[in-house]
Amino acid sequence: MHSKLLDELNENGYVVIEDFLTAEEVDSLYQEGRTLCLDAPQTNRKIFSTIKAEDAHSKELYFMDSGDKVRYFFEKGAVGEEGQLLVDPMIALNKVGHALHVEHPTFNAITFSNRVREICWQLNFNRPAVCQSMYIYKNPGIGGEVIPHQDSWYLHTEPNSAVGFWMALEDCTLQNGCLQFIKGSHKSGVHRRYMRNPDTNATELMVYDRAAPIYPQSSFAPIQVSKGTCILIHGNVVHKSEQNRSQKSRHAYTFHVIETENNVMYSEDNWLQAPQDKPFPVLFERKA
């Protein structure tokens, strides 16, 4: 099957779909995101940063075990040495993940909506499954940068099949850290992998298999979008977001879909593994 959507994703590495969510859906997801702030744990707070690698064992386990749970990750700078909150709870979280699409009715309804199924159908998925979801806050001033990466570093399949659905719940601008892409960069393969450490005696549970590639700043095109927009992200396209330097947050809901048919193998050394009794939930099965 041939679709314009697939052509555009294959050509650029991303597709911008405006007005994907209704105003009511945006509002309801946003309100749920705020509610999650109040549900966040009061003790043993975990910081999420894509910059610093010296995070301790317990933090890694908290992250690695979050595939089928709702877990809370705080901004660097939001939590003091003793685990105390240094900022208002409403702007303390970096993200919540990674099973909102299963555990939370509001996020579940959007993720498994017919609109999402239709897009996966047009992208020629045969048996797409949702492997993870996140609510991302990108809080004003404190919202950290996300380093240039390919989603396939983290969600690797052979052959590559991951596609991200990234939904803006607030307007995304240069000032508040909109997504930036290197157009066409998905055509150059997977540049590195983030994987479970094969050395079982090591203290680090997760390792990168090689150094971070250097991507020239001039290669990135910022994609400024209004709330309700969905950006489809090819698993191999290089993208990033800068720190939020504005007074406005940049909330987003995002999830990833992978192919589970046609001999597509989900890597056993990915950080995220589905528990035996809870396989990744499937959106549909295309019958021949």
Are 177 and 242 a contacting pair, CB within 8 Å? yes
Q: What is the pTM of this model?
A: 0.94
Cα distances (Å, whole numbers) of residue 55 to 48, 76, 147, 269, 284: 9, 11, 16, 19, 38
Are 88 and 37 a contacting pair, CB within 8 Å? no
Structural domains in the chain, CATH included, are 4-266 (2.60.120.620)
Q: DSSP secondary-structure letter at 85?
A: B
CA 260/CA 88 separation, integer angstroms? 42
State whether residue 206 is helix, strand or coil: strand
For residue 24, what are the β-bridge partners?
none
pLDDT score at 184: 98
Reading the chain (288 residues) residue by residue, the pLDDT tens digits are 679 999 999 999 999 999 999 999 999 999 999 999 999 988 778 777 665 555 556 678 888 889 999 999 998 888 888 888 999 999 999 999 999 999 999 999 999 999 999 999 999 999 999 999 999 999 998 888 999 999 999 999 999 999 999 999 999 999 999 999 999 999 999 999 999 998 888 888 889 999 999 999 999 999 999 999 999 999 999 999 999 999 999 999 999 999 999 899 999 999 999 988 999 999 999 986
Task: Tell me the HSE value of 86 on the side-chain side, using a 13 A CA sphere.
Answer: 12
CA 254/CA 146 separation, integer angstroms? 14
Residue 33 φ/ψ region, left for φ over 0, alpha for ψ in the -120 to 50 degree band, beta for the rest: alpha
The DSSP bridge pattern shows strands 265-266 and 157-158 to be: antiparallel
10 Å Cβ neighbour count for 137?
29
DSSP string, 2-47: --HHHHHHHHHSEEEETT-S-HHHHHHHHHHHHHHHHHS-SSS-EE
Q: Tell me, what amino acid is at 256?
A: H
CA 74/CA 256 separation, integer angstroms? 21
